[in-house]
């Protein structure tokens, strides 16, 4: 049984004292990946100006770099702006396979100004890995890191030529 309130305290500590969003998102992904049992990937995708979700900081095997707008479990969670838990990815018609070892998946959108600026995606190598307690606990963890994701989304939205 995962103690999500303990993990929330640890995550808050991990992110305190460092304002850089990229550094904190990278450490958050590594933290979730190393602390949650039975998962094989954890990381962020960021919504870019054309609507695609592009790979951000993550831990696990190399993953799909670009998910077309609205596609996949990530795109569905982004469009609905609600957490999506998929117990069997093979039963989700629009699932995008990045690692054939993944069997279930959970995606938490990060919403600012009425739109999903990013998602946090976790994959598991077993069916139905994420129950109601995991959903609530992981949503609480994502709420801690969300301000940094919103800040990185702001940075990514600035045209490179003006930076
Ligand atoms: N399976 C996801 C794609 C991202 S990877 O799992 C890391 C999806 O269907 O959106």
- Ligand 1: atom nearest CA of 97 is 1
32, 4, 60, 39: which is closest to 126 by C-alpha? 39
Q: Can you give the pLDDT at residue 159?
A: 77
Going residue by residue through the chain, which has 163 residues, state the pLDDT in tens, using 9 for 90 and above: 899 999 999 999 999 999 999 999 999 999 999 999 999 999 999 999 999 999 999 999 999 999 999 999 999 999 999 999 999 999 999 999 999 999 999 999 999 999 999 999 999 999 999 999 999 999 999 999 999 999 999 999 987 676 5
Q: What is the pLDDT of residue 1?
A: 86
The tokens describing 133, both together, are 């307690």
- Give pLDDT, residue 162: 61
In a domain, 92, yes or no: yes
Are the CB atoms for 96 and 68 separated by under 8 Å? Answer: no
| DSSP-assigned beta bridge partners for residue 60 | 41
> Is residue 48 included in any domain, yes or no?
yes
159 Cβ neighbours under 8 A, 6+ residues apart: none
Structure-token pair, residue 14 = 């991990």
Q: Give the H/E segment covering residue 108.
A: strand 104-112
In a domain, 163, yes or no: no
Q: How far is the CA of 4 from the centre of ligand 1 (A)?
A: 24
Q: Which residues does a 6 A CB cutoff place in the pocket of ligand 1?
A: 41, 63-64, 67, 72-74, 95-96, 98, 102, 105, 121, 123
Residue-range definition of the domain harbouring residue 54: 4-158
**Cα-to-centroid distance, 163 and ligand 1 (Å):** 30
Give me 90's structure tokens: 């093979």
Assigned domain for 70 exists:
yes
pTM across the whole model: 0.96
Phi and psi at 91, nearest 5°, equal: -90, -5
In a domain, 77, yes or no: yes
Output the pLDDT for position 26: 98
How far apart, in whole angstroms, are the C-alpha atoms of residue 43 and residue 58? Answer: 4
Domain count, the chain: 1
Q: What is the DSSP letter of 78?
A: H
CB of 73 within 8 A of CB of 92?
Answer: yes
**Domain CATH code at residue 56:** 3.30.450.40
Query: What pLDDT does residue 15 have?
Result: 98
- Closest residue (by CA) to atom 1 of ligand 1? 96
């Amino acid at each position: 049984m995962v103690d999500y309130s303990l993990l929330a305290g640890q995550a808050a500590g991990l992110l305190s004292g460092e304002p850089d969003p990229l550094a904190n998102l990278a450490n958050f992904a590594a933290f979730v990946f190393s602390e949650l049992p039975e998962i094989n990937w954890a990381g962020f995708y960021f919504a870019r100006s054309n609507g695609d979700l592009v790979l951000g900081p993550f831990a696990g095997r190399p993953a799909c770099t670009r998910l077309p707008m609205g596609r996949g479990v990530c795109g569905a969670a982004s469009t609905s702006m609600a957490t999506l838990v998929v117990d069997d990815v093979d039963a989700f018609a629009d699932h995008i396979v990045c690692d054939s070892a993944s069997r279930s998946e959970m995606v938490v959108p990060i919403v600012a100004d009425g739109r999903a600026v990013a998602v946090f995606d976790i994959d598991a190598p077993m069916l139905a890995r994420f129950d109601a307690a995991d959903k609530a606990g992981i949503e609480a963890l994502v709420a801690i890191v969300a301000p940094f994701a919103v800040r990185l989304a702001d940075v990514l939205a600035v045209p490179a030529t003006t930076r």
